[in-house]
Structure 1
């Protein structure tokens, strides 16, 4: 017995002190699953907070629901009322002057409850100047109203490969008086739309022909977005009047920026999402214009990924008049495949989920979830700006100067994707730039990395494994991926 007790003392004395667990995403951004109407297959396609505090939710099944008490602490208080049904895969909602605008597969319509019973009884077609043929992939995504009062519509190619029907593979603007303006060509398979803080319109496109990986793209009016399959519609008089002549055909097997130098109309991807590392099906877009109610990422953009059931964060800047920037992981663990994202004026992000036809890491067939900032600020990369000889990183909290000033705390590789007519692309053209200096600012909130071997046209994948906060915390997310289309001159 004495020997046994002595052994126990020795063993207990050798136990290492327990280390507090590192912070996790839920410490900063709490995810709440909201109950959905019993017996309804929701499969959310779009979300729009309304002025009266309700939230409108549309579905791939052609319904629109109004949701009350969506901000309640107790999810059981959420109440659903069906506003409309019999529509066709509503993938866009907007609100103006008492009308709810719905972008469905064949048109933009507007709906109103004229007698106050909670259900739509007026239905008007605003515009239906594009064609459909019943192909499962002929999605039509609609935006909120832009600064000129237009709704933008992005049209997927038929089967996501061809342009068999009018304006497949194009973006259109629908004006307040219902006129259609052909606006951009070269789209393949949109997954969502949204504006940045200054009102420029973006969409997500997905891996496939002429798209080596999923991406965020800027819908510059008059631009060609890269897939020539729909360029036959330049022959329409109204398209030629709005867009000009058909752009030159890109060379398959080239690189994005090589072709951008040869085709003035071509607007290359703003951010390339490295395949599988940042997802496989880029989806909805939302910009944080809540004025700090969602934390420290004001005016940054958030992008969903349907396959990975995640939300990514995007920092954009302009170089030589063109957008480019970095994507950083933000939040995982959504219940179904992330499709629409939408911020409310109260500072919540609503996320709609669906996995029919695509599959997703989130196992539920559909979901409606709310993401709220807890008031705690995570230690994160805040911004990643390109410089002529490197990058400037800012952080949400001061860094430990010794760790952040050590070049061994960082690792960088670069690579590109092939711009080609065949489906997707592997990562190619790898390089290993050398980080020669890491200068920490006096306030500890930024680090200037000097890099030997910057590569225009490449993704610069940066891992910050050794960087810690002044309080000793690791970064919540250690990776950032900057699409360096252009190296700034100053």
Structure 2
């Protein structure tokens, strides 16, 4: 994995930003710097997952001001092509992008490049938040660990959400904010013209900045940190649209496709999954019914399909969420 700065470019909102280049799972991330605390911090936001080769490096072409990435296979990767060269071309089209993220004592401040729809932006249910720690050892990698050391991550239910006076920033009130190794905040909102925005930001809140509403561009307010339970509306019939929103907001799209493609994915595609026969790595066969899907969501290691027998399930445990 490498980084490149988008300087002297013609890339719109990406100008002067750092781009993190992911190799194993071909993906580009925007790196949003945060210098609000004494210790420098940053958030990474997935930008594109459309590469079919493993990128190793990137640079801005001075001839057209666009970002080019290239790479080839040198170790483990989910990409199918051996090598490739791609141009990330700025089209000038509208896209709702996160431009800043600051973890604070009462929640998380999100700044966007477009004015937002007040209804979706101020609905706490439009955001998903979780946190976890890692265990530093000489071994490669670490499981997700809750703050008490038990396996998994802690789901944090937002208690409130407030829109700034210019409509481009949201403060998400979150009870029990603490410094931690890793946090993820996902959002499923719209801009003022109805353009949908679904994405996730990953960040390490080493230090928490004090939230002062008026200094951040908000009306005078007291952040409501009353614990709010995640509400399940039993009367509402689940829809494909709502499922797709969760698929994007919680981050499932990073590992699973919905169109049958497997390039750049470390998990099986969801297309045609329900009701199909699944061949497991232990030689047994099972039906992908509701019980199987629920078990796989709660414990991804319970039944691993034969095609992924040499992979380590990277999906976080959802038990207790």
Q: TM-score, normalised by structure 1?
A: 0.40
What is the aligned partner in structure 1 of residue 3 from structure 2? 285
- Does the aligned pair in 2 maintain the 1:463–1:479 contact within 8 Å? yes
Q: Indicate which of 336, 344, 348 corresponds to 2:53.
A: 336
Q: Secondary structure at the match of 1:302?
A: strand
More strand by share: 1
Deviation, structure 1 residue 381? 1.9
Find the partner of 2:109 among 371, 377, 392.
392
Provide the C-alpha distance between the structure 1 equivalents of 2:50 and 2:14, rounded to a whole number of angstroms. 20
1:302: Cα distance to partner?
A: 0.6
Q: Distance in 2 between matches of 1:315 and 1:366?
A: 28
Structure 1 residue 435, shift from structure 2 partner: 1.8
Are 2:29 and 1:307 equivalent residues in the alignment? no
| 1:417 aligned residue | 134
Alpha-carbon distance between aligned partners in 1 of 2:104 and 2:131, rounded to the nearest angstrom: 16
CA shift digits 1:333-368 (9 cap, x unpaired): 22311100112334211101211332332x211112
Quick one: distance in 1 between partners of 2:209 and 2:111? 18
Asked if the contact 1:435–1:450 (Cα under 8 Å) also holds between the matched residues in 2, the reply is: yes
Cα pair distance change 1:397/1:457, threshold 3 Å: same
- Report the Cα offset of residue 319 of structure 1: 4.6
Question: Is 1:470 aligned to residue 192 of structure 2?
Answer: yes
Q: Does 1:325 pair with 2:42?
A: yes
Q: Within 1, Cα distance between the matches of 2:52 and 2:186?
A: 28
Q: Name the SS for the 2:119 alignment partner.
A: helix
Partner Cα separation in structure 1 for residue 175 and residue 61 of structure 2: 43
Q: Distance in 2 between matches of 1:440 and 1:319?
A: 20
1:91-490 correspondence to structure 2 within 5 Å: 283-290=1-8, 293-345=10-62, 346-361=64-79, 363-429=80-146, 430-465=153-188, 467-475=189-197, 477-489=198-210
Conservation of the 8 A alpha-carbon contact between 2:104 and 2:177: no
Contact 1:347 1:372 in 2 (8 A): no
- Structure 1 unmatched runs, 5+: 1-282
The CA distance in 2 between the partners of 1:489 and 1:410, in whole Å, is 21
Q: Does the Cα contact within 8 Å between 1:304 and 1:339 map onto a contact in 2?
A: yes
Instruction: Report how many aligned residue pairs link the two structures.
Output: 204
Q: Compared with structure 1, are the counterparts of its residues 320 and 409 closer, same or farther at alpha carbon in structure 2 (3 Å cutoff)?
A: closer
Say what the alpha-carbon RMSD is for the aligned residues: 1.8
Query: Partners of 1:319 and 1:370 in 2: how far apart?
Result: 33
Instruction: Return the alpha-carbon distance in structure 2 between the equivalents of residues 489 and 441 of structure 1.
Output: 17
SS at match of 2:42: strand
Say if 2:128 and 2:185, in contact at 8 Å, map to a contact too.
yes
Shift of 1:450: 1.8
CA deviation vs aligned residue, 1:148-175 (integer Å, no higher than 9, x gap): xxxxxxxxxxxxxxxxxxxxxxxxxxxx
8 A Cα contact 2:71 2:85, kept in partner: yes
Secondary structure, in 3 states, of the residue corresponding to 2:185?
strand
For the 8 Å contact 1:319–1:486, the answer to whether it is kept is no
Change (3 A) 1:335 1:408: closer
